[in-house]
Amino acid sequence: MSNSDSTKQSLFEEFPPVSTEEWEEVIKKDLKGANYKEKLRWETDEGIETLPFYRREDLSELNRSAPIPKSYTNTEANSWEIREPIFENDISKANGAAQNALDRGADALQFQITVRRTEGMLGGDIQGLPIQNQSDFSTVLSKISLENTPLHFDAGLASPALLAMLWDEIQTQNLDPQKIRTTFSYDPFIYLLQHGQYSKAQKDIERDIYHIAQFSADNLPTVRPLSIDGRFYHNSGATIVQELGYAMASASEYLAILTDNNINHAAQALSFSFSIGSNYFLEIAKFRAARLLWKNLIEAYDIDPQKNAAYLHGETSRWNKTLYDPYTNMLRTSTESMAGAIAGCDSLTVLPFDEHFRQPNDFSERIARNQQLILSEEAYFNKVKDPAAGSYYIEKLTDKIAERAWDIFQDVEAEGGLFKAIENGTVQSAIQQSQQQRDQAIAKRGRTFVGTNQYTNADENMSDDIGESKQTAALRESEEISIESNAENLVEYLSEAFSQEANIADVIDKLFDFGRQQYRTVTPYRGPQAFEELRLATERHQSTPKVLNLPLGNKKWRKGRASFSANFFGCAGYHIEDPIGFGDADEAINAIKDQQPDIAVICSSDKEYKELVPAIADGVSNLENPPILVLAGYPEEDVETYKECGVDEFIYSKCNVLKTLTRFQVKLGIILNEK
């Protein structure tokens, strides 16, 4: 056969197609006749039910004919900006860290600045990088090419001040504004959710949004000054569909304000920032759903989606990162960054594994940066156009997530928009319900955090490793300054003020005001935090409680329940004594007398408990300092009897581990009372 003949034949002709019915017959046989659509169906936190496999015909149900690609800006098919956050709290050191990051493979830089104004105080304070004036801004970016380095300022409602400083710097250096690529995290909706009050009167916020977008459109057309910060929703415990739904509601409110004021290129003023959790396939589908929803949204505003693709930034989750066994966080960020790359993020931030509890060091920053470099330079994810396209499972997930998120968006719109929904408490209630469901799953170990609520290292101590990752400094007011400006546009006014050597403290009233009415708030947190607080309390206590397992009887049962007990109490950082076994109850009682544990756990089978429990409980009751007597298991028909014998607590697989351990902490005097 000639080469020309062989090339005309399909490589897969030897593998005839297999119908869905044939696959289902095989599955039915493996499940011994059970219906796989019922037995293997599972439901996500978002209420989305998924099947174990999908076929091509499942895509025919989707109301779209093509995948949702991102807008490609260079020759690499799926390239993204490797964005590195700078954690230094000193201006000069931050500049050195920024140059080092760029030299070692980062494409873009991210700076964290939080300006706070407290009612009744002069000025306020600044947390993170203390950029207070134009000189500080210039020092941070010294020797960094602003025309070749994308920047992101995570500055919240202080973003207009940084935007003004950026404009002044561009003019000072005589740079081409068309080459400046920068985003800012200005998001008044998040401010209202987090603080329970408007930063200004709503009409003034809308005016600022208009001024910020107008200034950028006129002077910095490639800068995105307005943000939809989905990270806040995620890190506060919201589901994926809530994160997307509220993000689209935020985007819609921006577009309504801007289009009403005839702002050209309104869509190009916006950028999205989403967190990436560890639910791998759902996170890939989330970003694809975001592009689909964005297309639907801007078409409703008569904006061309082909010329106004969504700018999506992904950042690894803070919600699921642990204090204990912290190196497992690198595994989590590996999964998350891979999902972001496959999903088609325009830029990606991998947070260092220790960022949430101390100042990251060279090692943790290098690992975070190299995770992205490996994905692009070694795994070649940047060379495959739309790598998730064609996955029937991801396409179905994308469609279901988008549908649920659009429902949330429509509910918010029907309520009068996102500001109104926050005022009414609708958003807060939905997120807090999601928080409660997640917290219950963690407390009962239905959701595992390795090293924290399962498989702990009992010898690990972390209290000495905790440090401040962000320092706080007072805002400096100028001694004598009189700002001369007739500018009505907020950013123009700030630009003139900083060119006259003003500090942020001198213009803070232009950024923040105080509303009187208070609304419900939502606070970011980490899922493992409650377990970590219990364990930190143990570390800081004057002595570590001792747990003595009492394995008795049937070897299979005693081994399994002793292992369960060790893992259970390890979550609180207790010292575990776990002998191989005891011959009888008397031998176990003697061990209690010799070792004098704080907690003694009987580990055997339910059948053998009927004799062992009364005997051990009676022997323990006569001791001068009896331990807390615990039974591993929950034999329902005998629970009351065992309580009468002297059993204080029962530990078992379906119990609320967090609540039970809290009771132990109270009984042992480690904490004062249950929360």
Given CA atoms 500, 503, 504, 509 in this order, what sign does their dihedral have? negative
User: Which two tokens mark 397?
Assistant: 């997930």
Going by their DSSP bridges, the two strands 125-128 and 472-474 should be labelled as antiparallel
Strands 599-603 and 546-551, sheet pairing: parallel
Length of the chain: 675
Could you state, in chain order, the average pLDDT of each consecutive group of 10 residues for the chain (675 residues)? 53 80 89 88 85 84 67 70 95 97 97 82 81 97 97 97 98 97 97 93 95 96 97 97 98 95 87 96 96 93 90 98 97 97 96 96 97 95 86 92 96 97 97 96 95 92 86 85 88 94 91 79 96 96 96 96 97 96 95 96 97 96 93 96 96 96 96 75
What is the model's pLDDT at position 123? 65
Amino acid 481: pLDDT: 82
Per-residue b/e over 116-143, b at no fewer than 16 CB within 10 Å? Answer: bbeeeeebbbbbbbbbbbbebbbebbee
Q: How many CB atoms neighbour CB 164 within 10 A?
A: 25
Q: Are 229 and 273 in contact (CB under 8 A)?
A: yes
Please tell me the predicted confidence (pLDDT) of residue 1. 44
- The secondary element (H helix, E strand) that includes residue 644 is helix 639-645
Q: Of 274, 221, 229, which is closest to residue 254 (Cα–Cα)?
A: 229
